[in-house]
Amino acid sequence: MTKIVLRCEDVKKTYSQGPQKVEVLKGIELDIHEGQQIAIVGASGSGKSTLLNVLGGLDQPDTGVVEILQRAFSQCSDNERGKIRNQSLGFVYQFHHLLPEFSALENVAMPLLIAGQKMADASKIAAQILHRVGLTDRAVHKPAELSGGERQRVAIARALVNNPACVLMDEPTGNLDSANAASIQALMAELSQSLSTAFIVVTHDLALAKTMHQVYELGEGRLVRVHG
């Protein structure tokens, strides 16, 4: 059995809306193994992005535990949580969030530079990852000079540059046409297998979800496995 890279145990999250309290997550349980591809689907407003933020340590649950490589976020300082996110997790969103003034290579290298690596070393690693996602010949181009599919590939390369245990994706194909969406889907499948990286993908794209190892549906605060 492959090792568990991310564990979520009895996670609950409640928000206040005026005098009312809305329980968004009701005791979520989830184990993610290395190289595993998980899709999370559900209606708009069901709490999918909230769950992703909690899994990524960007938001804290009211109760319950989220562990990355057996380290619980709740037992870490803010600085330690930031370090875990930088070194053990990758993030990809519907909007690529690339820095417009920097090249593709520089955008991909950014997490390494933040972690304290020298530019020469960071650039070498970033170039290798860009090659993995098929963008060697676009390394010096800025985001405005790239297509939508290319920008999302750069965002995926940036998420992978620190060799994270798990990449969290929020609607990664939401702004792409069907051909580019299929290309991103194939890329994720190849990378999860070759790098043993786990992918957790929140998506409305049912075609993408069905290609994942397992599909979970989030509704009424509960996460239920519906496929795989």
pLDDT digits 0-9 by tens, 94-115: 777 899 999 999 999 998 998 8
* Residue 18 pLDDT greater than 90, yes or no: no
Work out the pLDDT band at 120, boundaries 50, 70, 90: very high
HEC states along 34-47? CCCEEEEECCCCCC
pLDDT score of 1 more than 70: no
CA dist., res. 136 & res. 211, Å (int):
27
Q: Are strands 89-93 and 71-72 parallel, antiparallel or unpaired?
A: unpaired
Separation in Å, CA 74 to CA 25, 63, 85, 166 = 17, 10, 13, 18
Quote the CA–CA distance of 198 and 98 in Å, as a whole number: 22
- Residue spans of the domains in the chain: they are 4-226
Per-residue pLDDT of 152-210, as tens digits, reads: 889 989 998 888 889 999 888 777 778 878 888 888 888 888 888 899 999 888 888 88
Which token pair is 73? 């976020």
Burial class of residue 118 (count of CB atoms within 10 Å of its CB; 0-12, 13-18, 19+) = exposed
Pick the CATH number of 4-226 from 3.20.20.70, 3.40.50.12780, 3.40.50.300, 3.30.230.10: 3.40.50.300
- For residue 175, give every residue at least 6 positions away whose Cβ sits within 8 Å of its Cβ, in sequence order, or none: 94, 95, 148, 152
Cα–Cα distance for residue pair 68/212, rounded to 1 Å: 21
Q: Quick one: tokens of 26?
A: 């009701």
pLDDT at 31 over 90: yes
Instruction: Spell out the residues 6+ positions from residue 26 whose beta carbon is closer than 8 angstroms to its own.
Output: 12, 220, 221, 222
